[in-house]
Structure 1
Amino acid sequence: MGVTNGASLIEIDSQEEVEDPFLAFIDYARTVISPEEDDGEEGEGNKDPTEAAAEATGPGWGWVASRILKTCTAYSSGVTAAILLSDLSQAWHEQNKPGMSKKKPELIAQLKKSHRRRRLANTVTIDSIHEKNFLSMNSVLEAVIINADVLPGTNIFMLTLGDCWSSNTIDIYLHRRYYELVETPNGILGKGREVLLTGCYLRTAREGFGTPRLLPTEYLIILLDEDQDDDAILIAAQFCSDTFASVSLDAFNSGTSYSLYARIESIGPLESELKFSTAHRRQIVLVDGDGDRLKFILWGEQVIVANLLSVGSMLGIERPYISSLEESAVDGKDEFCLEYGSATHLYLFPATLQEERVCVALTQNQCQGSKLLGSGGVSQVTLPRDAEGSIDYSNYPFRTIITDIRDKTTGISLYGIVTDILCDDPNATGVVFSLKIEDTSGAIWAKLHFTSYWSLGRLGVGHVVYVSGLSCRVTNKNCLEVLWHEKDEKAAFVNLSCLPAFLTSSCLHKISTLSQISKHIKPAVNICRVKLDEIDQCHNIKTRLSHSLCGHFIDEESSSASSSHGGNLRCGFCRVSCTGNAGSEVVRTFDITITLADEETKLYAWCTGQSASAILQISPDEFYDLPEDDQLMYPSLENEWFLVTLSNSGRGNSGSGLGLSYETEATCWEITRALKI
């Protein structure tokens, strides 16, 4: 079987991919973005397949899946294979641009060989700056100084910068606070020195004359190399005499300056908020060689400096500003904290990128396209490890299945079906739901931590979902705990069963018959072409109150009893009051049951929300306002044909007390999306 619209070249090797074209398209897209090496390459035949290991250099499975779903969300009317492949190729090209044919400076070529640190999150390449002619304030440049010269006839220093990923260079005017580091004969800001910069403004070329240049920025960090003797001497001479214990607020106020050297333990927002100011603040917790801790505070625009730092790196702070906790409005037992002052210089020994080889399960090689990593098969994949020892699966080449999940893992992406939902103790700190996800290998519970309230829209048992940004750890009870935090940068949650683009994107689905989906045992989005065989207007079309935030019905009888005692309408799913609460409005929606039919069989289903409105061709409020006789005489839509997404809402329903059982007691099939054809 092939996938339409350009994906027909896919060779499907596994039964699961035959049943789920979405998975097949992801594997196909990876081969297009990162084509397989030539099988005839010298030495290829000498590899031992059982010992083969692959560097995860191509796009990870999760990256491709997330990008496809992001495009589908943006284009609700549907996408083609050409649109998806173009978007994927462009995004991957910009993120990992190989460079132009122009020869790179030898300095850059040597630097790339020894580049062993993790690329920072907001890093942009110099090539991309030239291409887009744009640079945002929070972008990060990881650069090396090619030249440091004084502009002729001035006392202005200009640095020429290059990076490991670009063929182009770019000039930047050096901020005057750093002149003392370049004016001396042995100044540290010289040729070959690596630096990190942010907060840069781009001065574009005008009317075709000149070249783009970067204006001065205060936010520059000098990188040190532990393998270089000069850098080791600098640390010993400049930073080893002062410790946190030797710092005195009174001495600082009397004119004493300090140079401190410590490990970055954590980077995060301040625990307390300022009541008298709207300025943003970040705190970096530092630990010196004696084990003492001290906070380094960033204020206002300075917070973007945190983008240049990474946990586990060693930070040298020359001439920090020292303020009392009262002056900085910071809570803590210490007498003072450090701040990024006007004379402060920062030096960094970046944490070396740690990697670990992860064994690839035999089922992965057999079922998930190991051909992407070489014709000989792959038994191991090298993945990065963070400062806490957790392995980052963000760039794992294969789809992560539930049996792959292990202790100390982050960046996990799961694709599966929801089989149960539980609302954690509403009195607990934060908003937490537990979600049971099942794939072909098993099932696992994941704890979803929301920033304020449920924000995923309608989600029910039987819906197929994609979740990224999961992490896993072993609890004190020796159980695996899977966590998802909405606030995390890499966190994403997509309900494929309710995604409009799936109905109109033929490259991502195949149309099944009703008899085929009733036999499916593996998670997949079921798309069927059906006609409406029977709607009983007298009994099966009704409107009910729904919670707009989560899309679930409100138990009006219980709410009425509560209201009679002075209570409010309450959502049985997310257990919040639906009146007087921002984002928690009550809306009217349909609740209908219907018989669907195709050429082979019939199937009884129910639906609500958008799918019900699409089938009835009227909004719930309009239908509710009709006189009772008009409701009974509403035009019949029987024998009209629709393209629908069906979910088995009765599967695994354990009666979790979230108001799911009454939605599925009549039938186990839910129409989650519908489109008239």
Structure 2
Amino acid sequence: MESPSDQVLGDFLTDKETTAMEIEESNIVEEEENDPFLKFINQAKSILYQNGGELEEESMPSPGWSWIANRFLKTCVAYSSGVTPAILLSELSLAWNEQNRTGAPKKQSDIVAKLKKKHKRAKLPNTISIDSIYEKKFLSLSSVIEAVIIDAFTLPGTNIYMLTLGDIWSSNTIDLFLHRRYYNIADPKNGILKIGREVLLTGCYLRVATGSSGCPRLLPTEYFVVLLDEDEDDDAMLLGAQFCSDSFSSISLDAIKEGTSYSLYARIEHIGPLEVQGKYGSLQRKQITLVDNDGVRLKFLLWGEQALVANLLSVGSMLALDRPFIASAVDSSLEICDEICLEFGSATQLYLVPLILHKEQVSVALTQNHYQGSRLLTASNLSQGQLVSQVTLPCDSQGSIDFSNCPFRSYVVDLRDKMTGISLYGNVTGIRAADGMFSLKIEDTTGAIWAKLHFVKSWSMGRLGIGHTVYLSGLSSSLTPRKSLELSWYENGTGSSFFNLSCLPAFLNTSCLHRLLSLSDLSIHASGAQVCRVWLDQVEHCHVDTRFMHSLCGHLIDKAPNGDLECKFCHSIGNVEVERTFHLKITLADDTAKVFAWCIGQTAAELLQISPDEFYELPEEEQIMYPSSLEHEKFIVAIANCRRQDDCGGFVEQDHDMVDWEVTRAIKCE
């Protein structure tokens, strides 16, 4: 007997729709079979999932698709001369074990064990374990320690407060010298820094013991946040008594001048990217938007090294600020967008009620279902009662769903409004560059979408062109005023990464990353960078020119009418960012076909086997004769179709609009 859900789904799917889904899913399966990068991610995901239960008493969760892709590509960057499947799987396994380690539970204190049972908040992006500090004997300033106080004491014969910290991922503990600005809340009688209290800290320096019996300790840090729990009576009383009488509207500049201090309580609405301020761009700033219970907004500014405090905060959490410094636009010599704003002053103390993420069942698009089993789920077997699968993903108070840990790959067709932590793998089919704003049109087998890229200063991702294969993570989606979907990416955003696989040296140096094609297999409609084994042919017709290139973006530059050098791609140039390069057009051949292609930069230098500066110094007649010495030299090349789509608009590469193929990377082979 057919269930109601089967009937509804059967009525909903028309013949045209089912055919479209079958074609789309067939394209996805074909893409995965032909793309070694995608095949390896699926293989690694399966191996990590199978090994998870063997590593701990309780099986670990399986890593998300984007986590594997990110770690995979970072390893390829680190091993530019090439990697092996064994190296990749080893790096992935070690990193996943470190991220999900639980230490040795039998050695953990009862305090940590109790905390572990009720721990529900999300792990902050830069969090490291105490065990890893012992193992690496290193601690970066941006690292976050999410800890619980195991013990609080004063050093004998002194008034120096010490906290012994533990965490739920470690069996070790570590001592912290408490910064003196927090001594008033560490008082044994009236303070709240007692055993069992959770704290967050960053900006820490590690003092490594020199003796064999000594233990490492953390030196004092000002960047210290105390966690509160509104369900605990003592914490609720503290919030009610100290932080609920003042509001943003009650702040008076006249009262501040008379010495009045405020204790404020508000929700973190937005954490902005790192900005550069000051006349010479030497001062960094972070803006955090706070909203109090009356709906009034104020900016909380962090200057210079204080920006590390933002690593301890999360959107949606409640922040209690005791004695913040209140700056006014009138008195400030720096750019302040509002009449008044809050700052992290010398007497400021921060308390946080972290957001406990609500889980929302999100229906994952049909493009994901083939990951769930050994065969593709198609429209024909949907009618047999196999409904769209669902995954539980966190949703913030604004309704944005975080896909950073989604187990599946995100496709363009899956994207909707209010999604964060998106990762996309696809090909660049359009580039727009104007007024310092860059947009990419990214296409996969299911569709294409524009993404706006926000850089801290200017373009910093190296060469990128039409037809290149890219991977981005940390994208967020929103609707434009015209109700079309658009993606945004911030260079310093949480979880942001950008990789151009087409120009990655390890792409050619690692056989498991590519599939060798013959030139006859390349089609004018081929998408993404393909790898071929070729030789140089018809070198008497090749075109070699030495030009200048903008090293940051990898594009050719020209002289503007006023005589200055100008990069037409990113419109930002300086003499220190200019280098001589080749602009090369040459015929590539194999046993099946010939292709006329172009390239610049390191790729052209690899094909010509001479540096641009060395070539430039040759006499003119030797420059003319030089290419003839390269006849039939063999290479492995990555080659991409760089023909611009008619509807893409925007930036057009110079001097090769009639050449459809770009060599994005090349290595000589014997």
Q: Could you tell me which runs of 5 or more consecutive residues in structure 2 were left unpaired when the two chains were aligned.
A: 1-27, 376-385
SS in 2 for 1:89: helix
Residues 334-390 of structure 1 show CA distances to partners (whole Å, capped at 9, x for unaligned) of: 775544444443222112223332222333221x46579xxx998112222334322
Residues 183-235 of structure 1 show CA distances to partners (whole Å, capped at 9, x for unaligned) of: 35353221221112223332322221122222333332221111112221222
- Is the 2:583–2:598 contact (alpha carbons within 8 Å) kept by the matching residues of 1? no
Q: Does 1:670 align with 2:658?
A: no
Q: Does 1:380 align with 2:390?
A: yes
**What is aligned with 1:191?**
195
SS in 2 for 1:497: helix
**What is aligned with 2:550?**
548
| TM-aligned CA distance change 1:102 to 1:329, over 3 Å | farther
**What is aligned with 1:50?**
none
Separation in 2, partners of 1:479, 1:117: 33
Which deviates the most, 342-351 or 175-184?
175-184
- Is the 1:56–1:381 contact (alpha carbons within 8 Å) kept by the matching residues of 2? no
**What is aligned with 1:402?**
412
- Is the 2:149–2:198 contact (alpha carbons within 8 Å) kept by the matching residues of 1? yes
| TM-aligned CA distance change 1:193 to 1:378, over 3 Å | farther
Separation in 1, partners of 2:415, 2:465: 24
Deviation at 1:128, TM superposition (A): 1.3
Deviation at 1:36, TM superposition (A): 6.3
**What is aligned with 1:234?**
238
Q: Could you tell me which runs of 5 or more consecutive residues in structure 1 were left unpaired when the two chains were aligned.
A: 1-12, 40-54
**What is aligned with 1:527?**
531
- Is the 2:438–2:453 contact (alpha carbons within 8 Å) kept by the matching residues of 1? yes
Match of 2:433 among 423, 426, 451: 423
Match of 1:510 among 492, 500, 515: 515
Separation in 2, partners of 1:352, 1:449: 29
**What is aligned with 1:576?**
571
- Is the 2:151–2:163 contact (alpha carbons within 8 Å) kept by the matching residues of 1? yes
Matches within 5 A, 1:214-363: 214-268=218-272, 273-274=277-278, 280-322=284-326, 324-329=328-333, 337-363=341-367
Which deviates the most, 93-102 or 135-144?
93-102
Identity of aligned pairs, percent? 56
Separation in 2, partners of 1:178, 1:518: 67
Q: Does 1:157 align with 2:161?
A: yes
Q: Does 1:35 align with 2:82?
A: no
The one-letter code matched in structure 1 to 2:33 is V
- Is the 2:431–2:648 contact (alpha carbons within 8 Å) kept by the matching residues of 1? no
| TM-aligned CA distance change 1:250 to 1:445, over 3 Å | closer
- Is the 1:360–1:381 contact (alpha carbons within 8 Å) kept by the matching residues of 2? yes
Separation in 2, partners of 1:171, 1:342: 24
SS in 2 for 1:34: helix
Residues 529-575 of structure 1 show CA distances to partners (whole Å, capped at 9, x for unaligned) of: 2233x2242x3233153533444455x7xx6xx75xx5555445x16
**What is aligned with 1:3?**
none
- Is the 1:421–1:436 contact (alpha carbons within 8 Å) kept by the matching residues of 2? yes
Q: Does 1:20 align with 2:45?
A: no
Which deviates the most, 295-304 or 381-390?
295-304
Matches within 5 A, 1:366-515: 366=370, 368=371, 379-424=389-434, 426=435, 431-515=436-520
Q: Superposition RMSD on alpha carbons, in Å?
A: 3.5
The one-letter code matched in structure 2 to 1:15 is E
Residues 140-185 of structure 1 show CA distances to partners (whole Å, capped at 9, x for unaligned) of: 2211122223445554433222212222222223334433334353
- Is the 1:408–1:473 contact (alpha carbons within 8 Å) kept by the matching residues of 2? yes
Which deviates the most, 187-196 or 339-348?
339-348
- Is the 2:550–2:556 contact (alpha carbons within 8 Å) kept by the matching residues of 1? no
**What is aligned with 2:642?**
649
Deviation at 1:25, TM superposition (A): 1.0
Match of 1:64 among 68, 79, 95: 68
Separation in 2, partners of 1:203, 1:540: 61
Separation in 2, partners of 1:32, 1:636: 49
SS in 1 for 2:629: coil
- Is the 1:646–1:672 contact (alpha carbons within 8 Å) kept by the matching residues of 2? yes
The one-letter code matched in structure 2 to 1:495 is N
The one-letter code matched in structure 1 to 2:453 is L
- Is the 1:461–1:652 contact (alpha carbons within 8 Å) kept by the matching residues of 2? no
Separation in 2, partners of 1:148, 1:90: 34
| TM-aligned CA distance change 1:531 to 1:313, over 3 Å | same
**What is aligned with 2:14?**
none
SS in 1 for 2:656: helix
Deviation at 1:297, TM superposition (A): 4.3
Q: Does 1:135 align with 2:120?
A: no
| TM-aligned CA distance change 1:422 to 1:260, over 3 Å | closer
Separation in 2, partners of 1:336, 1:422: 37
Separation in 2, partners of 1:139, 1:120: 10
The one-letter code matched in structure 2 to 1:611 is T
Deviation at 1:314, TM superposition (A): 1.9
The one-letter code matched in structure 1 to 2:43 is Y
- Is the 1:590–1:620 contact (alpha carbons within 8 Å) kept by the matching residues of 2? no
**What is aligned with 1:615?**
607
TM score, norm. by length of structure 1: 0.82
Separation in 1, partners of 2:531, 2:149: 56
Deviation at 1:19, TM superposition (A): 0.6
**What is aligned with 2:583?**
590
Deviation at 1:107, TM superposition (A): 2.4
Deviation at 1:21, TM superposition (A): 0.7
| TM-aligned CA distance change 1:616 to 1:391, over 3 Å | same
